[in-house]
Structure 1
């Protein structure tokens, strides 16, 4: 809501997804960097481990992204799911993109995909009654756990997709 209520602003100077890659990974909450895209924790998470996967390039819509950006975003999303499942034991995921402000995008002019871990017990009365969401872990701790578990090029097979039958 902070992004939405702030309204539109100038593009790259105030775009958090353009600024993040220029910062230290810990400060920017980045867990992994690729050639065309990167993954970072959402500063305003719905659940603990809520990641965003973004292209480096300032592009607003999915159909404006290059094939390389789309492919790397997909790969980062798959790896994020495997890592989060491994370290948190989540039961499922919400994955999606809100395209444009009218569709609910808080940062409408820089493409980003949400990867939200879900647990069978993650819904309770807090968000409805108190308009509050309890997050059981600090962002810095979550970033470190995910970054530490993220496979490096040398050990990428450890969290690879299951073998095809």
Structure 2
């Protein structure tokens, strides 16, 4: 298709499929902006994702690559936490065989971790006393979060081993994540971003103050 003055021009901001008269081979060869390409040939090409830059997490990732905090007791954050103050370690309560602290990278406000003091990686390697107290602490955590955070449900579980997604694979820990009816909105689903509305220190204080004495 031509016009006076030369060949039909494709507007730079238009989509190639919207221009009539083009060869189908030309249309097929145009890259799809929603397809992710390798860095060598597709750098800076738009795709379907937005970016929330978190460069401070690189130290955490690098430590994991080097094995720190995963298989070594000497640099395990869950072994180090009990030696710090509750405020510095974000510990909510200390039991005889296990303790509860806030997740430093929470999925939701009030995201708790229940850990044995002993550096043991897998659930089937924990002692009966450790399992019993972890279960009791988990139950109490649910009751306290219902009371102070008014949540509607929970995700509770463990990732066993790096292949299963455990961030600190060397030390057993159970996640207790409070959920609300409105927390799966467009922001995490579409923007892949979680909005945290409360500081970790304030959350720790709120849960610790709501924890029943002797529980």
Asked if Structure 1 and Structure 2 have the same fold, meaning a TM-score greater than 0.5 normalized by the shorter chain, the answer is yes
Q: Which runs of 5+ in 1 are unaligned?
A: 157-165
Q: Which residue of 2 aligns with 1:81?
A: 142
Q: Secondary structure at the match of 1:107?
A: coil
The answer to whether the 8 Å contact 1:97/1:114 transfers is: yes
Q: How many positions carry a matched residue from both structures?
A: 154
1:104-141 alpha-carbon deviations (Å, 9 max, x no partner): 10000100000000001001222244332101110000
RMSD: 1.6
**1:4 shift after superposition:** 5.5
More helix by share: 1
Q: Which residue of 2 aligns with 1:45?
A: 106
The reply to whether residue 72 of structure 1 matches residue 133 of structure 2 is yes
Query: Any residues of structure 2 matched to 1:99-110 within 5 Å, and which?
Result: 99-110=160-171
- Gap change, CA 1:67 and 1:4, over 3 Å in 2: farther
The reply to whether residue 148 of structure 1 matches residue 209 of structure 2 is yes
Q: Secondary structure at the match of 1:39?
A: strand
Normalized against structure 2, the TM-score is what? 0.68
1:66-87 alpha-carbon deviations (Å, 9 max, x no partner): 0000000000000000000000
Q: Distance in 2 between matches of 1:70 and 1:51?
A: 17
The reply to whether residue 118 of structure 1 matches residue 183 of structure 2 is no
2:83 aligned to which of 14, 19, 22: 22
Q: Distance in 1 between matches of 2:213 and 2:189?
A: 40
Q: Distance in 2 between matches of 1:51 and 1:63?
A: 21
Normalized against structure 1, the TM-score is what? 0.88
The answer to whether the 8 Å contact 1:87/1:145 transfers is: yes
**1:14 shift after superposition:** 1.5
Q: Which runs of 5+ in 2 are unaligned?
A: 1-53
Bigger CA radius of gyration: 2
